[in-house]
């Protein structure tokens, strides 16, 4: 397989629908790293290493030296938004990064101006931007997005493009008839079917063109049979949903540990306060519902109460998000976990995480973009389950249980990289060489 991976030569265009807090923090971060004024902390593709071979071989290359990834210097950014602010203005408004850092990369950021968005207010009530495409049908809007992608590719001399949805969370909808096949979906685009959301139109445009598409929000987007089918047809890698940051990141780190020790859990109450535009959008109950469904699925899958009813059968799981403007992007979260141990004795764990949402999300977007581009060059098409590591609600093949345990997700990601590069997979069994070592002592 290694020989078949196309090289990462030339420029990679990363297009982001939604140039808000996460997207601008990513772009500013990459520009700052390119100028050597900051480090890409949290990005596996930049700072992570991977063990190869036996533990005794001591081979731990950086992931970026092991697999052929696009270099940061070869990345060009672009995107769409319902507001016309350039990336410098949007980053200043998002107030995630220090003005002094943004000042140092101002020309690069000012040069990135959003393209007009495909937007439908019925999906996001709390936004009122005017930088929006007008067309008679959703089909025409999809064509306009395809033109944007092709024009961007040409204007920036890009060899390849990837798209990561960084737009706001859309209202909750369930899969319906129009989402079932590509014929029905295309007909729905022409008939302006209300069940086709803006994020689906972006995903359709990308997948039609064979451009890898990852979804950072919990919306259905490319997680519908029609677009999964189209991805197969056009040999396009897709993935989602919802970047795994903050409270859910902590949950998927801690829950596997408690489960591993066969400790019981009676209740897990999670609440947080958040004051950025994402928080404002999620203040609407229809949009919160989309996020809630994504966040709630995590514990059930890690703990599997059906297999361990004595330990997790009565678990009460509650998730709350509260819009609180004074905190901006600096989310504060509280978790109260009621656990029980030997002979049923109760204990409590309290977590108070003062996190920075976009600081945790930006490296995920970078890794996803670079790995999706790698997947495309390695001819890995359809749902990229090996990238579940990055998502709260990983997209899987229909009927398959998603894996939420972050450690299993990491093993899967690393073994996928080993596999495509022709290295032995690591099982952590070690018996083959352990005995030799002991005997040699
Ligand atoms: N920050 C995190 O830790 C985190 C974690 C998981 C998921 N997410 C998701 O990532 C997304 C981005 O988060 P954020 O904090 O940057 O939010 P944000 O509100 O700062 O940015 C979202 C941007 O998307 C734009 N937008 C909305 N609909 C659009 C459309 N149809 N086309 C183009 N642009 C559109 C908005 O105008 C806004 O500028 C949200 O959906 C959020 O739920 C964020």
Distance 267 CA to ligand 1 centre (A): 30
At 437 the pLDDT is: 67
Distance 219 CA to ligand 1 centre (A): 11
Give the whole-angstrom CA distance, residue 383 versus residue 214.
10
The stretch 133-151 carries a mean pLDDT of 98
Band of pLDDT at residue 433, cut at 50, 70 and 90: low
| Contact indicator for 376, 231 with CB cutoff of 8 Å | no
The stretch 412-421 carries a mean pLDDT of 97
**Cβ neighbours, 10 Å, residue 111:** 11
Distance 435 CA to ligand 1 centre (A): 53
Residue 84 φ/ψ, nearest 5 degrees: -90, 5
Give the whole-angstrom CA distance, residue 220 versus residue 198.
11
DSSP 212-223: -EEE-SSS-TT-
pLDDT over threshold 90, residue 413: yes
What 8-state DSSP symbol labels residue 381? -
Distance 276 CA to ligand 1 centre (A): 10
Distance 214 CA to ligand 1 centre (A): 13
Residue nearest to atom 6 of ligand 1 (CA): 243
At 431 the pLDDT is: 65
Burial of 404 (0-12, 13-18, 19+ CB in 10 A): buried
Q: What is the pLDDT of residues 83-128, one digit of tens each?
A: 999 999 999 999 999 999 999 999 999 999 999 999 999 999 989 8
pLDDT over threshold 80, residue 286: yes
Distance 278 CA to ligand 1 centre (A): 6
Q: Which atom of ligand 1 is nearest to the CA of 22?
A: 16
At 177 the pLDDT is: 97
Band of pLDDT at residue 290, cut at 50, 70 and 90: confident
Residue with tokens 């070690």: 430
Token code pair at residue 158: 């890009």
- Ligand 1 pocket test, pick from 17, 20, 274, 358 with the greatest ligand atom count within 8 Å of Cβ, gives 20
Distance 426 CA to ligand 1 centre (A): 37
Q: Which atom of ligand 1 is nearest to the CA of 246?
A: 3
Band of pLDDT at residue 283, cut at 50, 70 and 90: confident
Give the whole-angstrom CA distance, residue 174 versus residue 176.
6
In 3D space, the residue among 31, 40, 33 whose CA is nearest the CA of residue 107 turns out to be 31
- Ligand 1 pocket test, pick from 168, 220, 250, 325 with the greatest ligand atom count within 8 Å of Cβ, gives 168
At 295 the pLDDT is: 78
Pocket of ligand 1 (CB under 6 A): 17-23, 80-83, 94, 117-119, 124, 127, 129, 166-169, 198, 216-217, 242-243, 245-246, 276-278, 281, 357-358, 360-361
Please state the length of the chain. 441
What 8-state DSSP symbol labels residue 52? B
3-state helix, strand, coil in the chain (%, to 5): 45, 15, 35
Sheet holding 11-17, edge to edge: 115-116, 75-81, 11-17, 158-165, 213-215, 237-239, 382-383
At 296 the pLDDT is: 81
At 56 the pLDDT is: 87
Tell me, yes or no, if the pTM score tops 0.85: yes
Q: Long-range CB contacts (< 8 A, 24+ apart) of 337-344? A: 337/254, 337/265, 337/267, 337/268, 337/269, 338/265, 338/266, 338/267, 338/268, 339/258, 339/263, 339/264, 339/265, 339/266, 340/263, 340/264, 340/265, 340/266, 341/263, 341/264, 344/264
pLDDT over threshold 80, residue 432: no
Pairing of strands 382-383, 237-239: parallel
- Ligand 1 pocket test, pick from 17, 130, 278, 355 with the greatest ligand atom count within 8 Å of Cβ, gives 278
């Amino acid at each position: 397989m290694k020989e078949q991976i196309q090289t990462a030569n030339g420029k990679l265009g990363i297009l982001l629908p939604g140039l808000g807090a996460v997207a601008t923090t990513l772009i500013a971060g990459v520009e700052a790293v390119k100028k050597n004024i900051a480090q890409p902390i949290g990005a596996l593709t930049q700072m992570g290493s991977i063990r190869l071979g036996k533990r005794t071989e001591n081979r731990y290359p950086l992931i970026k030296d092991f697999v052929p990834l696009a270099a940061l210097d070869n990345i060009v950014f672009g995107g769409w938004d319902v507001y016309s602010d350039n990336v410098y203005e949007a980053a200043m408004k998002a107030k995630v990064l220090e003005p002094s850092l943004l000042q140092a990369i101002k020309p690069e950021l000012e040069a990135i101006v959003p393209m007009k968005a495909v937007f439908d207010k019925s999906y996001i009530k709390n936004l009122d931007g005017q930088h929006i495409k007008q067309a008679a049908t959703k089909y025409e809007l999809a064509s306009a997005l395809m033109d944007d992608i092709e024009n961007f590719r040409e204007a920036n001399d890009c060899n390849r493009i990837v798209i990561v949805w960084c737009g706001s969370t859309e209202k909750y909808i369930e899969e319906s008839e129009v989402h079932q096949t590509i014929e029905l979906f295309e007909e729905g685009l022409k008939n302006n079917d209300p069940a086709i959301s803006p994020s689906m139109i972006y995903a359709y445009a990308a997948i039609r063109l064979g451009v890898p598409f990852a979804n950072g929000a919990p919306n259905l987007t490319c997680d519908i049979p029609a677009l999964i089918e189209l991805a197969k047809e056009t040999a396009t890698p897709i993935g989602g949903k919802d970047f795994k940051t903050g409270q859910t990141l902590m949950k998927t780190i801690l829950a596997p540990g408690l489960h591993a020790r066969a400790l019981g859990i009676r209740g897990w109450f999670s609440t947080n306060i958040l004051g950025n535009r994402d928080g404002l959008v999620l203040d609407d109950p229809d949009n919160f519902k989309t996020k809630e469904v994504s966040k709630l699925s995590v514990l059930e899958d890690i703990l599997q109460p059906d297999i361990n009813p004595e330990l997790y059968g009565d678990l009460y799981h509650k998730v709350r998000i509260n819009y609180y403007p004074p905190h901006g992007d600096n989310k504060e979260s509280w978790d109260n976990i009621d656990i029980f141990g030997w002979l049923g004795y109760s204990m409590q764990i309290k977590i108070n995480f003062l996190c920075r949402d976009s600081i945790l999300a930006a490296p995920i977007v970078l890794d996803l973009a670079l790995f999706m581009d790698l997947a495309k060059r390695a001819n890995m098409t359809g749902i990229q389950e090996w990238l579940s590591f990055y998502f709260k609600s990983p997209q899987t093949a229909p009927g398959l249980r998603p894996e939420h345990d972050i450690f299993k997700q990491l093993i899967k990601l690393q073994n996928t990289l080993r596999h495509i590069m022709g290295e032995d997979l690591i099982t952590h069994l070690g018996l083959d060489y352990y005995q030799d070592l002991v005997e040699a002592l």
